[in-house]
Amino acid sequence: MTILGPKGKRYQSLGERFAAVVTSNSSNSAMFRLPCAAVRRQLQVTATLGHSRTAAAAASSPHFLGFVKPYSVSSVGADDPSSLTTSLLTRSCGISDHAALSISMKVPLDALDKALSVLAVLKDYGFGEAHLVRLVDRHPPVLSMGVEKTLKPKLEFYRGISLVGTALPEILSGSPRLLTSSLEKRLLPNVELLKLILKTNENIVDALKHEPRLMTLDIRTKVLPKVDALRAYGVPDDVILVLLTRYGYALLIDTSRFNEAFDEIKKMGICPKKTTFAHALGVLALLPKKIWQEKVENLRELGWSQNHILEAFARFPYIVRASTENIRKTLKFVEEKLAWTPENTVKYPTVLLMSLEKRMMPRFAVLSILMHKGLIKPGFTGYHFLTSSKNFQMAFVTKYQDKAPEIVEAYQRSEIG
């Protein structure tokens, strides 16, 4: 059987074709010579002894000559291309068989040399095998990128804006478009625009960690008009900076949805000069309008007024992340056990996201015992539940355990145990 290779060169077997690829790659990079030689010897045996099996496999599968087949490492023979590709990746790149197999399924045989070059460069820039597997799985064409003209310049660009250390492979492997977007037409213009608002490279990196699309979408048309609207309303740049670094998606969403959230925040009367404004807008922008309305209606049914709801949200926007059921259970608990009115709860809306079983109830048990024994003043305050576990234990458990030893068991049974 004759196999046609690049530039019309003919090979007598798949093993001979594969050996040619390995030989070509090993001549390009000294770091691959020893492992490639070992694989080449294996391929030579395959070409000589396994010719009939190779021919039979080629006849039975139209994809056999072009792409790696997803067999497990333990189930393939020495003449199977997936086994040979996996072996080459394992030895050349220093990655596990599992990672090599995952990557090998995305590598065409005629692109092995380029794929190995890409993987070698990525490893030089700190990509571990988990990063490589995730990147290739999410965007296989990355293995065909030009190393010198495309890949390295982009990696150097990110290093230039202080995206270094483990953050570089973590962010890039999770968002491959950061590597596929045009350097000249998208990345460089975007970073210059972002610097106008974020000022420093550190802030830009922080923003990318939360929302990588800030570098790959058209900032000029998607973000700047929204920033102009915020400034016109009186939102200072330091608050916009918080919004952009923590909630970049709020400035990338559809303009109509952004305007709805923006208008809602205005109605709440949240001061635009406080960072709470950024947190409130960022949280509400991600929440579908229908869900927001459902949460408002739920609180109304539980006895809260519109002012209660808006004040609680302004103090702690993340309360919208609490489920309807949890809110109902928590409000019932604070009303029946703590004797709190809506006015009390609005002052400490954080409790709506706390665990009843692991935090609220064990502390209530300890405090109730101490109040009954007259060791502390009656009445539950927000401090009792907002303070850290360490502080609570020191102030109410350790301090009084000699006078009320039962509080130790009550506390450990839930909050610690």
Q: Is residue 343 part of a domain?
A: no
Cα-Cα-Cα-Cα torsion 131, 135, 136, 137, nearest 10 degrees, comes to: 100
Angle between helix 112-124 and helix 14-28 axes, rounded to 10 deg: 40
Q: Is residue 390 part of a domain?
A: yes
Nearest to 15 by CA among 91, 94, 107, 77: 77
The boundaries of the domain holding residue 43 are 1-144
How many separate domains does the chain show? Answer: 2
Instruction: Round to whole Å and give the CA distance between 10 and 7.
Output: 9
Whole-prediction pTM value? 0.70
Q: Is residue 279 part of a domain?
A: no
Angle between helix 255-268 and helix 306-315 axes, rounded to 10 deg: 110
Nearest to 162 by CA among 98, 208, 129, 93: 208
Predicted pLDDT of residue 56: 39
Nearest to 367 by CA among 327, 402, 337: 337
pLDDT in tens, 195-225: 999 999 999 999 999 999 999 999 999 999 9
Predicted pLDDT of residue 96: 80
Handedness of CA 55, 61, 64, 70 (dihedral sign): negative
Neighbours of 265 (CB within 10 A): 25
pLDDT in tens, 182-195: 999 999 999 999 99
Query: Residue 215 corresponds to which tokens in the numbers above?
Result: 């570098």
Pick out the chain residues at pLDDT < 50: 1-4, 6, 11, 13-15, 17-19, 21-78, 416-417
Domain closes at, from 123, 144, 165? 144
Q: Is residue 280 part of a domain?
A: no
Q: Is residue 63 part of a domain?
A: yes
Q: Is residue 152 part of a domain?
A: no
Predicted pLDDT of residue 31: 41
Instruction: Round to whole Å and give the CA distance between 12 and 288.
Output: 62
Domain closes at, from 106, 121, 144? 144
Domain closes at, from 79, 113, 144? 144
Handedness of CA 268, 269, 274, 278 (dihedral sign): positive
Instruction: Round to whole Å and give the CA distance between 241 and 277.
Output: 12
Exposure of 131 in the CB half-sphere (CA atoms within 13 A): 20
Q: What SS3 class is residue 18?
A: helix
Please state the length of the chain.
417
Q: Is residue 253 part of a domain?
A: no
Predicted pLDDT of residue 8: 54
Q: Is residue 185 part of a domain?
A: no
